Amino acid sequence: MEYFVRYGEIGIKSPKIRHKFEKRLMDNIKSELECEFENNQGRLTLKTEETNEKVADVLSRVFGIVSYSPITQTITDKEKISELIHEIIPKVIDEGKFNPQKDTFAVKCRRVGNHDFSSQEMAGYCGSVVIDITNAKVDLSNPDFTLYVEIRENKTYMFTEKIPGLGGLPVGSQGSVVCLISSGIDSPVASFQMLKRGCKIILLHCDNNPYTKNTIEKVKKQAQRLQRYSVGVKVKLYTINFGQYLEHVIKQAPPRMTCVLCKSGMYQTAAQLAKFNHANAIADGSSIGQVASQTLRNIEATRYKCRMPIFSPLISLDKIEIEAIAKTIGTYETSIIPDGGCSAVPKYPETNAELDVVNNVIDDINQKDVLEEVWNTFTKIDID
Ligand SMILES: Nc1ncnc2c1ncn2[C@@H]1O[C@H](COP(=O)(O)OP(=O)(O)OP(=O)(O)O)[C@@H](O)[C@H]1O
């Protein structure tokens, strides 16, 4: 079978960058699909012996694809074009995609090259062939069924559906980002959004044992789900024994500061891992005001000591919107498995952190030294 694979934003890049991104997109697809590509001035044609189901499964998970279409082709000759329409129409009727008794139809024609007919004339010709076969009604503005005809020089391609892809940029076309993953609902979605922008993701879970339990297994399952959308690029997962740092915080700092200091330590730990992995940024699942700790003041105070950019792709999303994405990508079910929460959370956590106060406490508890001890415990987890 053959397919047109369409990309979006890549098309507006300079020729050099476009070429690089197209290559990355094709390589990512090839990593899971035995196939060949023909690249005709940005029109990618994928050729494969694999089943339609397999192709649909892979293309629906590859970032950078705006839409794709199974195509058939013939030579640019009216008789041959009519023959192909005679093959396609009974097939789509059979598959229930077109019911000429009640559905209207249109033919849309695009053309590249010099021909002795215009695109409109060819659309009219193809439409008359469809009418001969079906007697269906034409509706050019709002058809129930569309036959797309694309003529490129002496080749004519036809397709009847444009299947939407995920959009975004090909994974690996941008740099690497360390994504803080907690095992909850939001952070896997934030990681997914970073994949969407073409970033390689390195997941970091701060294991707060003994204050939290059973989170590593959950995070591992979420990483496996995320791997499905990182076609062509291996997702890395690290954990760290963060409970050790948390214990120090609980002993040395005012109780209400525990969560602020925990988050501040996580960002700096993520920055440390980013340095090891040549990553240029950190991402987390914060959303303003979603929980009492995610106030603007807390966000400012917890990020102050971290010099690396911290992205929060969910910052403006509602919980319902985040949950909807989590359900679509298949991380939700794992996220909601009860794990008992974090027993280090104080009765009255700080929700209005003052920058100077937080910075003073950070100095008082020798945060940097304690974090440096914890950084010996980075562990890479195999997610296969
Ligand atoms: N133990 C952890 N390890 C790694 N990252 C964490 C951890 N706990 C929190 N984070 C990061 O901080 C972000 C905000 O966490 P917080 O607990 O304030 O909110 P949340 O709404 O419960 O987030 P989530 O649904 O992702 O658990 C998380 O989305 C995640 O990116």
ipTM of the assembly? 0.98
Please name the helix (run of DSSP H) or strand (run of DSSP E) that holds residue 106, with its range, or none.
strand 104-112
Same-domain status, 72 and 212 = no
Q: What is the CATH number of the domain that holds 347?
A: 3.40.50.620
To 10 degrees, the CA torsion angle through 254, 256, 258, 263?
Answer: -130
Backbone angles phi, psi at 182, to 5 degrees: -100, -20
Q: Which of 177, 180, 226 to mutate to test the pocket of ligand 1 (most atoms within 8 A of CB)?
A: 180
Give the angle subtended at the CA of 368 by the CAs of 264 and 272, to the nearest 5°.
Answer: 70
Give pTM, 2 decimals: 0.95
243 is in an annotated binding site: no
Same-domain status, 27 and 128 = yes
Based on its alpha-carbon atoms, the radius of gyration of the chain, rounded to whole angstroms, reads: 27
Number of structural domains found in the chain: 2
Residue 35 falls inside a structural domain = yes
Residues in the chain: 384
Q: Which atom of ligand 1 is nearest to the CA of 291?
A: 21
Same-domain status, 121 and 153 = yes
Residue 171 falls inside a structural domain = no
Q: The domain containing residue 42 runs over which residues?
A: 2-164
pLDDT of residue 290: 86
Helices (H), the chain: 15-30, 52-59, 78-94, 119-134, 186-196, 215-228, 243-252, 258-276, 296-303, 319-329, 332-335, 355-364, 367-374
Render pLDDT for 58-101 as a digit per residue (tens, 0 to 9): 999 999 999 999 999 999 999 999 999 999 999 999 999 999 99
Classify strands 310-311 and 200-207 as parallel, antiparallel or unpaired.
unpaired
How far is residue 124's CA from residue 117's CA, in Å, rounded to a whole number?
11
Q: Which residues of 109-131 are buried (b: 16+ CB within 10 A; e: fewer)?
A: bebeeeeeeebeebbebbbebbe
Render pLDDT for 179-198 as a digit per residue (tens, 0 to 9): 999 999 999 999 999 999 99
Same-domain status, 368 and 326 = yes
Same-domain status, 147 and 32 = yes
**Which stretches of the chain score pLDDT less than 50?**
none
Same-domain status, 187 and 258 = yes
Report CA(191)–ligand 1 centroid distance (Å): 12
Contact 106, 146 (CB under 8 A): yes
Same-domain status, 241 and 342 = yes
Classify strands 155-159 and 145-152 as parallel, antiparallel or unpaired.
antiparallel
The residue whose CA is least distant from atom 21 of ligand 1 is 186
Residues with CB under 6 A from ligand 1: 180-182, 184-187, 190, 204-206, 208, 266, 284-286, 290-291, 293-294
State which of 121, 142, 164 marks the end of a domain.
Answer: 164
16 is in an annotated binding site: no
Q: Which atom of ligand 1 is nearest to the CA of 259?
A: 18
Residue 327 falls inside a structural domain = yes
pLDDT of residue 121: 97
How far is residue 66's CA from residue 349's CA, in Å, rounded to a whole number?
44
Residue 151 falls inside a structural domain = yes
Same-domain status, 116 and 25 = yes
